[in-house]
Amino acid sequence: MRVITGKARGTTLKTLEGINVRPTTDKVKEAVFSAFQFEIEGRRILDLFAGSGQLGIEALSRDAHHAVFVDADKNAIRVIKENLAKTKLDSFATVVQTDSIAFLSMTDKIFDIAFLDPPYETGLLQKALSKIGGCIAEGGAVICEHPFKEELADEYGGLVRVKDYKYSKTAVTVYRKEG
C-alpha cells in the first residue's frame, strides 16, 4: 500500500494486521482519486472507519486543506499516526479515537468529502449514511466502498446517489449533498 501521487508520492504506508483487515486496493484507490482529482485541493476531508488512514492521507498528499481520521480501534489510531508522521502530513490532520457513528452525532465540523469504508456487511455503512448528511457541505461528496452485492438506498438524509463504480467484488458508490 503506497501513496499514489502528490507531496508524499511513493511512500509505503503501514497496514493493520488481522483477518478482518481489508485495505482499499491500489486499483480502487487510483480509480477513486482519478474521478475526484479536481475536487481534493483545499478541501476538508473526513476519513471515517479510517483503518490505516490511507484514503485521507492520499487526499492530504494531493493538497487537501485538512483531514479528520476517525476509528474506534486503538491499533488503527497508532497506525494512522505513524503513517501521518512518515508522510510528514500530520500537521494537516486530526486523529480521533471513537466510534464512527457516535462521531457523526457529536461533531459540529462540516466536510467537503467523506470516505466511508466500514467493515463489510455489518450495517455500519447504512447507519453512517443516515447520519452523515448534516456533516457534509452543500455539493460535497460521500464516497463509500462496499461489497458489490450490498444494496444501498438512492437517498440518505439530504444525500443523493450519483454514481456507482464496480471493481471485481468491490463497489464504490458516490453520494452528493443537494443544495
Beta carbons within 10 angstroms of residue 152's beta carbon: 16
- pLDDT of 74 reads 95
**Torsion region of 161: left, alpha or beta (phi above 0 gives left; psi -120 to 50 gives alpha):** beta
Query: What is the pLDDT averaged over residues 29-53?
Result: 92
The three three-digit cell numbers of residue 5, written as one number: 501521487
pLDDT tens, residue by residue, 124-170: 999 999 999 999 999 999 999 999 899 999 999 999 999 999 988 88
Q: DSSP strand E in the chain: where?
A: 44-48, 66-71, 93-97, 111-116, 136-147, 155-156, 159-167, 170-177
pLDDT tens, residue by residue, 24-38: 677 778 888 888 889
Separation of CA 149 from chain center: 20
In 3-state terms, what secondary structure has residue 1?
A: coil
Between CA 27 and CA 98 the distance in angstroms is 29
- pLDDT of 19 reads 46
With a CB cutoff of 8 Å and minimum separation 6, the contacts of 42 are: 63, 64, 65
pTM assigned to the model: 0.93
Helix axes 26-35, 54-61, angle to 10 degrees: 40
Query: What is the pLDDT averaged over residues 119-128?
Result: 92
- Domain at 26-177, CATH from 3.40.50.150, 3.40.309.10, 3.40.50.20, 2.60.120.10: 3.40.50.150
Q: How far is CA 93 from CA 6, 24, 89, 123, 127, in A?
A: 16, 20, 7, 28, 25
